[in-house]
Amino acid sequence: MKPACALLALTAVAACADDAVQPIDAAVDAAVDVAIDGPDIDAGPCGADFFLTGAYEDWDSTTNTFDGVEFATWTVRGEPTRTFTTNPNGRVELCIGRGHVSVIDATQGDYQPAIYVTRPEVFDPPGLFFFQIKGIKTTRYASFFAELGVTPDPARGHVLIQEMGTPRALTLTGGGTPFAVDSSDDLSWAAGATGGLVLFTNVAAGTSTLATTGAIVGPTSLPVEVGKLTIATIR
């Protein structure tokens, strides 16, 4: 083949090769465009729902002796697809509906069954607030109440309130003796209803109403069930 013919042949092959890769380039460009401009990037992992996150920790956990409640199942009542199993550090990440109270069952074989009651408004703006609550092992249950000087009533439940911000004295209908600590790092429970965590012991089963001076952001109508620990975060 003459050099001129060879050059023409190579040019034709190159032209064909260029034509052949254009669809690949287009696909890559499209993928990049989707990654950059894709739908709902700013919507977060829950889309239009609220991304609930926080820490579920053992009753005696502190910063220095941290113990998360791992492998606990959190499921929104009436919405079984809204469920999450806690991480080894007790981290909870769950999508819940906006504009209403969500009641969430928290179960783990080594712990007393718990009910977490929440409203998204407690944690607005997202990322600024998150819950830090506690569960109590079945093997710790009796000894802890003995330390308080309280005999658990098998026909009643208990209520734990996490109050973010400046603590105010809380009241709860349904009876129950309150004990409080300053924070989740404080294990020195003492009689009283003012603290970062307040425990109402032996509350009558049914619906109890939480109140304090001023407005409460968060749930105030709390379900109490026999043998269970109802937990709520307010501010």
Q: pLDDT tens digits, residue range 156-166?
A: 999 999 999 99
Identity of the residue numbered 90: G
C-alpha pair distances (Å), 123 with each of 70, 81, 134:
23, 22, 18
Phi and psi angles of residue 206, each rounded to the nearest 5 degrees, phi first: 135, -145
* Alpha-helical segments (H) within the chain: 3-37, 138-148
pTM for the model: 0.81
CA distance 158 to 150: 12
pLDDT at 134: 98
pLDDT at 126: 66
pLDDT at 34: 36
CA distance 217 to 94: 20
Residues of the chain with pLDDT under 70: 1-43, 126-128
pLDDT at 36: 37
Answer yes or no: are the C-beta atoms of 157 and 191 closer than 8 Å. no
